[in-house]
Amino acid sequence: MGCMLASQVHAQQADAPHPVIPDTIEQRIAACTACHGVHGEGTPDSGFFPRLAGKPAGYLARQLKDFQDGLRKYGPMEYTVRQLSPEYMHEIAQYFARQEVPYSRSPMPRLPASALGRGEELVLKGDPSRQIPACAACHGSQLTGVQPDIPGLIGLPYDYISSQLGSWRTRTRASAAPDCMSEIANRLSESDIGAVSAWLAGRELPADMHAQAAGTVTPPLHCGVLGDKGDGA
């Protein structure tokens, strides 16, 4: 009797319709949103997973390709993008670029006023004596990025900014040669990296967080990722 009941249950389960998983972009990027937030808002509390929402689509697509090509090193991301086609990576990038969600501030270390002053100087003016261009020269006057390829820096967590500058120095993050960000990061001292990261993370957010229009900056260094689009980073 028990065997009969068990076989009937098994037959009913076999005949039951399988749940249909919707073929939507939201479902297909579940691996992304599991870490970066439902709308790509990032994890400001931890400072580890960066915001994707609203970043230029060209920049986001390039980062996926850099993980795929091994230029950026982070095992889970390298595995996630391994089999993605260029078209699919652009679709993902465009989805997150369209997302508009509020920014949240993240915890940051307390630094003396002198360090924050140094960070502000480097971000807005650079240091010509060490051939360090201002961050604003490439990333826009409000540091919100420039379409279609240059990301915003404002609103990112301290830990993320400092870790990425460190990654360029240790070559665990790279981009197409000439790699202008690697050049700049290696001209910064460790204290400079802390100062820049803290000033950017603590800066008041501008009213308009959208990236500037294409062609509104002329980067001061030649940068391989921009190809023929400009003379710099």
Q: 106-233 maps to which CATH number? A: 1.10.760.10
- Integer Cα distance of 80 and 92 in angstroms: 12
Residue 228 has pLDDT above 50, yes or no: no
Q: How many residues does the chain have?
A: 233
Q: Which two tokens stand for residue 220?
A: 């001061």
DSSP bridge partners of 173? 72
pLDDT digits (tens, 9 = 90+) for 49-85: 999 999 999 999 999 999 999 999 999 999 999 999 9
Same fold, 24-104 and 106-233: yes
Listed in sequence order, the residues at least 6 apart from 10 whose beta carbon sits closer than 8 Å to its beta carbon are none
Q: Which residue has the higher pLDDT, 37 or 231?
A: 37
- Confidence (pLDDT) at 233: 34
Handedness of CA 50, 56, 60, 63 (dihedral sign): negative
Residue 12 has pLDDT above 70, yes or no: no
* pLDDT band for position 177 (cuts 50, 70, 90): very high
Pair 219, 226: CB distance under 8 Å: yes
Work out the average pLDDT over 163-185.
95
Please state, for a pLDDT cut of 90, what percent of the chain lies above it: 78
Q: Which two tokens stand for residue 126?
A: 């650079």
For 12, phi and psi rounded to 5 degrees? Answer: -65, -40
Where are the chain's structural domains?
24-104, 106-233
- Confidence (pLDDT) at 50: 92
pTM of the predicted protein model: 0.86
Residue 13 has pLDDT above 80, yes or no: no
Select from 1.10.10.60, 3.30.2140.20, 1.10.760.10, 3.30.1600.10 the CATH code of 24-104: 1.10.760.10
- Confidence (pLDDT) at 138: 96
- Confidence (pLDDT) at 8: 54
Q: Which two tokens stand for residue 189?
A: 């001292």
Pair 149, 189: CB distance under 8 Å: no
